[in-house]
Amino acid sequence: MPKSASFCLALLLALPLTSTADQPHHPARPHPQSRLTEAAAITAEKGFDAKLPPHISTLLRLTTEQECPVKQSVTRSSNLVQGLDVSVANKNDVILFVVDETTHDQSLYLTGPDGALRRVVKIVKGVGSEVRISDKDRQDFQKEKQYWIDRLVPASKGK
């Protein structure tokens, strides 16, 4: 091997070892998806045992007319109930929901630990249906997702 080729090879091998050592280290900022993954894991491990009723589970396409066992984190403030469910059968099925106790209307958002919105189900006046995802639904979903991330995995504890 010519001298110039061995020098270039030695230089290339040495560069990765020295090029980042002199740069300041900046801790990675936690990503909402990784924090949602952690929030879902916390709920799956420490959440309450609950069941999605057969009609809701079917609308979300998790089961066919069967209850779906979930682990649940839930909060109530005045007439609003907010929850995060993780399917016991499939940890990749995460459901965020909001129930208005005065009207009994519900919004359910099917997602996964990755934070991608997969399905929206609305229950209005006792009638449930899957809806085409609108910009408003995406905004409401982001708000609910952020609520649970902040509640279960505060930024100071995020990775």
Instruction: Pick the closest to residue 83 from 97, 69, 70 (CA basis).
Output: 97
pLDDT digits (tens, 9 = 90+) for 62-119: 999 999 999 999 999 999 999 999 999 999 999 999 999 999 999 999 999 899 999 9
pLDDT higher than threshold 60 for residue 37: yes
Instruction: Pick the closest to residue 152 from 45, 38, 28, 31 (CA basis).
Output: 38
Q: Which amino acid is at 62?
A: L
pLDDT digits (tens, 9 = 90+) for 92-103: 999 999 999 999
DSSP secondary structure string for all residues of 31-95: PHHHHHHHHHHHHHHHSEEEEE-HHHHHHTTSSSSS-EEEEEEEEEETTEEEEEEEESS-TT-EE
pLDDT higher than threshold 50 for residue 148: yes
Question: Cα–Cα distance between 133 and 142 in angstroms, integer?
Answer: 13
Domain ranges of the chain: 30-157
Stretch 112-133: mean pLDDT: 95
Overall pTM surpassing 0.85 (yes/no) = no
Quote the distance between the C-alpha of residue 131 and its chain's center: 20
pLDDT score recorded for residue 150: 94
Tokens of 66: 């069967």
pLDDT higher than threshold 80 for residue 33: no
Question: Cα–Cα distance between 39 and 57 in angstroms, integer?
Answer: 21
